[in-house]
């Protein structure tokens, strides 16, 4: 049986929890092989083990051509470091025999409060992960993704159209599109991400590489704890706009974007819980 992402090689950052974990699971379930990353090595290894156990059940149940060996390989480390980024992309090539053709730039963190009220001791880490790390990953991924099709071979016709698309998918946020004064420091990092994504999209589109932005609203994950949300405040928000999204809701959208034919680009998806009016 062929599934939507059979043959694709993916890299997903921030995959030990929340949205990245759901993306890794969904991509593997749809037939992709996946290199996953996060800083907590033990948690990440467990995620990879679970995905590999599930895929070997599938192998027994059907004739999917996944070949031998694991479908999911963990690479632990801080993905805002260039050495870790290189390791991730090199691992995809070494483990699965070709450059990754689907790179999901997901790792990031929130921060409760605004420019005026948020904890300044958290600013460095957030800016490094959300902006500088994402930029470094996009830059390295761009080089690899463009190398998959020789220069000059992405015209109106050609073999590239018969192959799967090459994708860079970046997680932004609704607060990277709408200013929310209550989360303006975190939102500011996502405004930067949105600007970078659109710039890189314009640079890579002529080369046949799809650069897509996914903008979630409220998603229940470890995000709220890491950001330091007041649980009573968050409970009130959920009463008003809930149920919130589940990480799997975002993962399905990403698999949909990546599984389009090579000439179709869904460049931007904004997902909110149905009752979330704003931001």
Nearer Cβ to ligand NAP, position 70 or 108?
A: 108
Distance (Å, whole) CA 275 – CA 218: 11
Distance (Å, whole) CA 232 – CA 261: 45
Smallest gap from Cβ 44 to ligand NAP, in A, equals 6
- Could you tell me how many residues of this chain bind ligand NAP (CB under 6 A)? 32
Query: Angle, nearest 10°, between helix axes 18-29 and 247-258?
Result: 50
Distance (Å, whole) CA 93 – CA 144: 10
CB 111 within 8 A of CB 186: yes
**Does 20 participate in binding ligand NAP (rule CB under 6 A)?**
yes
Site string for ligand NAP, 185-224 (x = CB under 6 A): -------------------------------x-xx-xxx-
Question: 252: part of which helix (H) or strand (E)?
Answer: helix 247-258
Of 28, 36, 34, 35, residue with least CA distance to 4: 28
Nearer Cβ to ligand NAP, position 66 or 131?
A: 131
Smallest gap from Cβ 199 to ligand NAP, in A, equals 18
Within 52-71, the residues that bind ligand NAP by CB under 6 A are none
Within 231-270, the residues that bind ligand NAP by CB under 6 A are none
Residues that bind ligand NAP (CB under 6 A): 13-20, 37-40, 43, 78-80, 106-110, 129, 133, 171, 173, 216, 218-219, 221-223, 226
């Amino acid at each position: 049986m062929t599934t939507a992402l059979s043959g694709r090689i993916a890299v997903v950052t921030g995959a030990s929890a929340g949205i990245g974990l759901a993306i890794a699971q969904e991509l593997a379930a749809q037939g992709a092989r996946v290199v996953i990353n996060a800083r907590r090595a033990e948690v990440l290894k467990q995620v990879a083990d679970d995905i590999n156990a599930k895929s070997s059940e599938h192998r027994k149940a059907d004739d999917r051509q996944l070949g031998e060996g694991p479908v999911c390989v963990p690479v632990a480390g801080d993905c805002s470091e260039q050495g870790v980024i290189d390791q991730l992309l090199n691992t995809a090539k070494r483990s699965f025999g070709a450059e990754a053709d689907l790179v999901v730039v997901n790792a990031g963190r929130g921060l409760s409060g605004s420019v005026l009220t948020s904890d300044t001791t958290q600013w460095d880490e957030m800016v490094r992960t959300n902006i500088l790390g994402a930029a470094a990953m996009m830059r390295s991924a761009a080089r690899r993704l463009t190398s998959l099709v020789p220069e000059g071979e992405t015209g109106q016709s050609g073999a590239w159209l018969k192959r799967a698309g090459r994708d860079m998918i970046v997680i932004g946020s609704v607060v990277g599109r709408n200013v929310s004064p209550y989360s303006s420091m975190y939102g500011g990092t996502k405004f930067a991400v949105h600007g970078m994504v659109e710039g890189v999209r314009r640079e890579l589109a002529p080369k046949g590489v799809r650069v897509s932005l996914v903008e979630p609203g409220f998603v229940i994950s470890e995000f709220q704890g890491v950001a330091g949300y007041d649980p009573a405040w968050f409970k009130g928000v959920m009463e008003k706009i809930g149920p919130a999204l589940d990480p799997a809701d975002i993962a399905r959208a990403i698999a949909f974007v990546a599984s389009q034919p090579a000439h179709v680009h869904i460049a931007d998806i904004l997902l909110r819980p149905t009752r979330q009016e704003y931001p």
